[in-house]
Amino acid sequence: MSRHVLITGAGSGIGRQTALAFAQQGAMLSLVDLRTDAAESVASEAEALGADSVHVHAADLRDMEAPATIVRGVWGAAPVDVLVNAAGVYPATPYLDLDASTWDAVQNLNVRAPLLSTVALAQLASATGRRAVVVNISSGAALRARPGAAPYATSKAALEMATRASALELGSLGIRVNAVAPGFVTVNSKANPVTEEYAAAVSPNPLGRRGRPEDVANAVLWLCSDAAEWITGEILRVDGGASTGAMNLPLHWEPATKKEAHA
pLDDT grade, residue 190 (50/70/90)? Answer: low
Q: How far apart are CA 106 and CA 23, in angstroms?
A: 29
Where in the sequence numbering do the catalytic residues fall? 152
Predicted confidence at residue 193, as pLDDT, reads 64
Count of the separate structural domains present in the chain:
1
Mean pLDDT of the chain: 92
| 199 has pLDDT over 70 | no
- Residue 134: helix, strand or coil by DSSP? strand
- Residue 130: helix, strand or coil by DSSP? coil
Question: For the residues 10-16, what does the mean pLDDT come to?
Answer: 96
Alpha helix stretches (DSSP H) within 171-243: 196-202, 213-223
Looking at residue 9, its amino acid is G
CATH of the domain at 59: 3.40.50.720
Half-sphere exposure of 236 (CA within 13 A, CB side): 21
Question: For the residues 63-88, what does the mean pLDDT come to?
Answer: 98
| 191 has pLDDT over 80 | no
Q: Strand 175-182 and strand 53-58: pairing?
A: unpaired
For residue 132, give its domain range. Answer: 4-261
Predicted confidence at residue 259, as pLDDT, reads 61
Q: How far apart are CA 160 and CA 258, in angstroms?
A: 44
Question: For the residues 213-227, what does the mean pLDDT come to?
Answer: 97
- Residue 228: helix, strand or coil by DSSP? helix
CB 4 within 8 A of CB 81: yes
Predicted confidence at residue 198, as pLDDT, reads 65
